[in-house]
Amino acid sequence: MGVQGAPPDCLVCEAERLANAGEVILSAPSWELCEQRRLRTQRLAGQRAVKVMGMVQMSRSECQEILRKLVQQPVSHGLEKEGAMRPAFFRSHPNVEEVPREYVPETALRKFDDRAPLDLFSELQPVTSLLVQLRVAADMDTEALHTILNNATRMMLEVLRPHEGKINKILLFDKGCMFLCVFGLSGEKLLYESIHALQSAIQIFNSCSTLLGEKEAVSVAVTGGTVFCGVIGHPGRHEYTVIGQKVNLAARMMVQYPGLVCCDAVTYAASQLPPYCFKELPAREMKGISSPDTIYQYVGIAKRSMFGMGLAKERSEYVPLLGREKELDLFASCLKAYKDLGRRHVLAFEGTMGSGKSHLLTELAYLGQAAGHRVVAVELLELDMRQSFSALCALMARALGLQECESCSARQRELQTKLRGTIEESGYCLLNDVFLVKFPVSDKVRKMRETQRKRELRSAWAKVLEKAIGRDFGIFVIDNAHFIDPASWSIMSPVLQNVSFFMVTSLAPGYARTESFCKAAAANTTSQKITYLHLDELKPSAVVQKVCQDLGVVSIPRDLARFLLQRSSGIPYYCEELLRCLRCNDTLLFRTRRPGEKAEDDWESLVAAAVEISALAATSSSSAGNDGGVCIIIRPDVNLENTVLPAALKEIALAQLDQIKPLKQTVLKFAAVIGLVFTTQLLSHILPTDIRHKMNFLLDMLVSDNILKWLKSTEVPEDVQDATEGPASSPQAGRGVKRSSWSKKTVERQSGVLVFCVPLLREAAYELWLERQRVALHRKCAAFLERHAHKCKSCSQGDFVDFHRFAVTDTQDGRSCQGPADQDDSRSWEALVLAGEQMKRDRTHATEDVADALQQQQAFREEDFGTAEWFLAKSDQTTELPSETEGKDNGTCSCKCKAIVESVLVPLARHYVAMGDAARAFYYLVECAAAYLRVSNSYMALVKLNEAEVLRNSVEKKANAIARFDEATFFSLKGEVCCHMGRTKLAKKMIGVALCLLRRHFPRTSVRAFAKSQVEKLPSASYDARRASSLPQDAGRKRLAWLLRQSSCLALLERLLSLEGTSSGRTLSRLAACMKANTDKAADSCRAADSCHSQT
């Protein structure tokens, strides 16, 4: 084994050649850095390196002392502390603090400069890994190897730089050298990352093949996926790198497919390049990789591809383009003016990625052809922007019909026919490289200098373009016109000003070409010739119609509609990707409605009926004619809120997130753990101490950047209480009000509620956390929220399930929530109420607006669901239903319980699910259901009980995973919901199960009922009083919780049995009333004893 110090390449090779099996050779720099008195060495003749013969072992105390001194050594910069053992730090340098920066990746440097905590450096990041292997001859001398590696490194850096790729690691071993390059590290994210990586790979492959003289000596592998990006290794030898399965796969591919540029299926799909850019490779067994996906060879974008790049989107003949009526009408009016008056016009549609530009242009091209016009349509790629004249070549090739010509001679004949009289025959040879033809080089062209030849080529281009888009041309359709390269635009721009034409383009914001179109549309001289229109997001009703149309169903569940509306933000591509992800994971189940089909009387059918009643139906022509009545439901064991973001959408969101400075990114990542809506108090509670004091300032910046928005601010920091300027972190921020800079006075915490402007950004930020970090943050959030997990002050501040926390001692710590709250808790409560109100609006308003827009006969409202009037109207139910449970809020009082259940109880259940604590998650799901029933929202109670059912089924094999009292409460609440929905038989069954779990069995036969009635008549009041007074306070409250739950079940059972109208029903109803009366007496005794305990 050879050990080196620095420089790395030549010295390690020299030490390695001197080492035999089982020997350790130290290069001269390594020997100088060692503690030489502890090593026994032997000098090698004629060499500076030394051979290690042995070493004196240090005692354990000596090791610990050295490590202690290393960690506690005072340094002036964090980089030296983290890399104190690096040889470079021992160099003599006039500016020693700058030396470490040469050895640290830019991604890590940015976080160091912002003083981000080291444990926040690491994250799970989707990146593209590119591995290059160079095989060199075994007998190559050190100097030649040094030269090759230096040249290869320099070349790779030049290739990677414009694509934001980085060389992360260079490894030298006996078979050559390996370079690990990474695209998409934090701070260096680009859209179309896979294309950037593939294009870099082919350039590196060609350059290295030339450098080494043979292609077989170079192997390149590209993979994409989520990996660990961060700091690894001993604290004294930290290294910022990437590790994970996708990096390992790239290493295996590089070995198994030598002499090629290969990529995995993920990169192939993400690039969205034409299939002819790839070749499928035969499957090969790879060590450590079980069942690898298809591997492809990337052959590059050949020039012949210019002749076949039409619009990529296909138009459906059976469904209309939804939500773009305004754009279609504008196209029709402009086309009519062009046809009747010959006015040239450019119709430019600008929209973000995924807004439906390509679908719209495909529809417009079809309408133009249907109107009898000649249409030439082309789609440009991001790579076209980097190749001179590529856009012009693609346009002209299709305008001249060259895409149909297979051979070179056929293209030559076509060009001679089309361009006769346009350019001189002696100039045809100028088009050889452009259109892949072989016209003989004329003497005139041969004698031209390079500058003159370029001038003649540009002149020929202009003449060809003018010929192609003459008056009889028709319609020019360019998708992704922002990718027109500068050379092409320099020719197109003057020609288009002098020719009558009609052009339709799509543009994306943030590109120079988009800016030029926008300015031209605003200028007085050209505004009449250019119409610039921004594509808005689809309206919620159009999104629902599109989903039904794409799935071929008549309706979709309300939860699915809400999920898609929130995450897609009305962008069609986002909606399509989310649907594709759900279908790939078998989340959606299709079922056919059969008229007159009788449902089973069980909980599953009840949930299905509720979903069907609340579903949103489409009114589009595609679904109107669907006689089969196909609808869709969500798989019962799936919670849409826990669905992982699709890779394509995650790449888009992370590219946006990457534009934010590291410290602001850190705040967003912490806020993402809380949820879409969060309070500043909770955010402050989970932020690290060294970031907490900057929180208000950072939030103010994020609001001004339109990443977050304030719902309300209830307190203003002292340094900005200026009436003339307004609060720095107020809702006025970002509206032209001057923003103050951060100072120490802003340490004072501010009460307020914020919401993410782009939900997709929150999802992407959340998924960056490592699992252990995520769990720790969820635990902090839960600890904060549990202080507020109770009813509001006007409702006595107790648990929604009476004395719940005392009944489940193994789940809760028994803290009382009924004590007086301090001032900070009071402000937190107010903020949580505001957040809860916003969450409820977000959940209900979007789908209610959709129902109104689709003009459904009876819009669904959660508050109406489960009432007797609702089910009498929705079903054939004729029996009078029992009234709701006593003590519920009818919605007319001013209590805040509706808001608290949204902002406290629901998030608590989510936090504990994320932590893997099933018992506590079940506890809070039951609390949620009880709270929703209290505020007369049976629909959401059913939803939460169904979530609890799924959780219970997932852990039922584990003994005592869920407390018995929680299970009993779960069944009793299911009985209430069944009662509200008119399923009296199922309700009685559920109540019976609950009473059994509560150890209060109710007889079902007349004989047992008679015996039970006799037992219940026996006097027991004095016994109950003595027993209650003898119990400790906590035990007494636990017994009280059981008694109150028994009483609630018996009360409901009494009313259900009285509705049967039979003698046995009346007998059992009287028995239930008797049992309830005795239970209430025992509960009164417990209350009295608890009151005595409290007074003492």
pLDDT tens, 253-285? 988 999 999 999 999 998 888 888 899 999 888
Of 326, 377, 616, which Cα lies nearest the Cα of 481? 377
Q: Are strands 375-379 and 475-479 parallel, antiparallel or unpaired?
A: parallel
What is the average pLDDT value for the chain, to the nearest integer?
Answer: 79
Q: Which has the higher per-residue pLDDT, 479 or 435? A: 479
How confident is the model at residue 712, as a pLDDT?
65
Q: Which has the higher per-residue pLDDT, 335 or 3? A: 335
How confident is the model at residue 70, as a pLDDT?
60
How confident is the model at residue 716, as a pLDDT?
39
How confident is the model at residue 767, as a pLDDT?
92
In angstroms, rounded to a whole number, what is the distance separating the alpha carbons of residues 586 and 643? 12
End-to-end CA distance of the chain: 78
SS3 readout for 830-876? HHHHHHHHHHHHHHHHHHHHHHHHCCCCCCCCCCCCCCHHHHHHHCC
pLDDT of 881 > 50? The answer is no
pLDDT of 994 > 90? The answer is yes
582 vs 265, 548, 579, 587, 612, CA distance in Å?
A: 20, 14, 5, 5, 19
Specify whether the CB–CB gap between 801 and 863 falls below 8 A: no
Structure tokens at 770: 């490592």
Per-residue confidence at 811, pLDDT binned at 50, 70, 90?
A: very low
Per-residue confidence at 853, pLDDT binned at 50, 70, 90?
A: low
Mean pLDDT for 1056-1069 is 85
Three-state DSSP state, 994: helix
How confident is the model at residue 744, as a pLDDT?
41
The type of residue at 834 is L
Tally of CB atoms within 10 A around 795: 18
pLDDT of 318 > 80? The answer is no
The type of residue at 444 is K
How confident is the model at residue 228, as a pLDDT?
93
Q: Which has the higher per-residue pLDDT, 438 or 521? A: 438
Share of the chain above pLDDT 70, in %: 79
Structure tokens at 151: 């040249």
Q: Which has the higher per-residue pLDDT, 737 or 766? A: 766
Least-confidence region, from 81-90, 179-188, 828-837 = 81-90
Bridge partner list, 42? 51
pLDDT of 730 > 50? The answer is no
In angstroms, rounded to a whole number, what is the distance separating the alpha carbons of residues 1006 and 1072? 13
Bridge partner list, 172? 177
Per-residue confidence at 5, pLDDT binned at 50, 70, 90?
A: very low
Mean pLDDT for 389-396 is 80
Q: Highest mean pLDDT: which of 313-322, 371-380, 528-537, 908-917?
A: 908-917
How confident is the model at residue 312, as a pLDDT?
57
In angstroms, rounded to a whole number, what is the distance separating the alpha carbons of residues 51 and 40? 9
Least-confidence region, from 215-224, 1034-1043, 1084-1093 = 1084-1093
Share of the chain above pLDDT 90, in %: 21
In angstroms, rounded to a whole number, what is the distance separating the alpha carbons of residues 557 and 635? 11
Tally of CA atoms within 13 A in the half-sphere of 490 that contains its CB: 10
Interaxial angle between packed helices 823-853 and 558-568, expressed in degrees from 0 to 180 and rounded to the nearest 10: 110
Specify whether the CB–CB gap between 920 and 961 falls below 8 A: no
Of 178, 150, 185, 180, which Cα lies nearest the Cα of 164? 185
How confident is the model at residue 880, as a pLDDT?
45
In angstroms, rounded to a whole number, what is the distance separating the alpha carbons of residues 1090 and 1033? 6
Bridge partner list, 1082? none
How confident is the model at residue 914, as a pLDDT?
93
How confident is the model at residue 100, as a pLDDT?
65
Per-residue confidence at 75, pLDDT binned at 50, 70, 90?
A: very low
In angstroms, rounded to a whole number, what is the distance separating the alpha carbons of residues 313 and 315? 7
Q: Highest mean pLDDT: which of 242-251, 485-494, 552-561?
A: 242-251
Q: 618 φ, ψ to 5°?
A: -90, 155
One-character DSSP codes across 692-741: HTTHHHHHHHHHHTTSEEEEEE----GGG--TTT--TTSTTTTTTPPPPP
Mean pLDDT for 155-182 is 88
Mean pLDDT for 997-1017 is 81
Structure tokens at 236: 């004294």
pLDDT of 689 > 80? The answer is yes
Specify whether the CB–CB gap between 964 and 920 falls below 8 A: no
Q: Per-residue pLDDT tens for 709-724? A: 998 654 433 333 333 3
Residues 6+ apart with CB under 8 A from 669: 120, 123, 765, 766, 768, 769
How confident is the model at residue 594, as a pLDDT?
63
Q: The pTM is what?
A: 0.81
Question: 423: phi > 0 → left, psi -120 to 50 → alpha, else beta; which?
Answer: beta
In angstroms, rounded to a whole number, what is the distance separating the alpha carbons of residues 1029 and 571? 64
Q: Which has the higher per-residue pLDDT, 197 or 93? A: 197
The type of residue at 970 is F
Q: Are strands 39-43 and 50-55 parallel, antiparallel or unpaired?
A: antiparallel
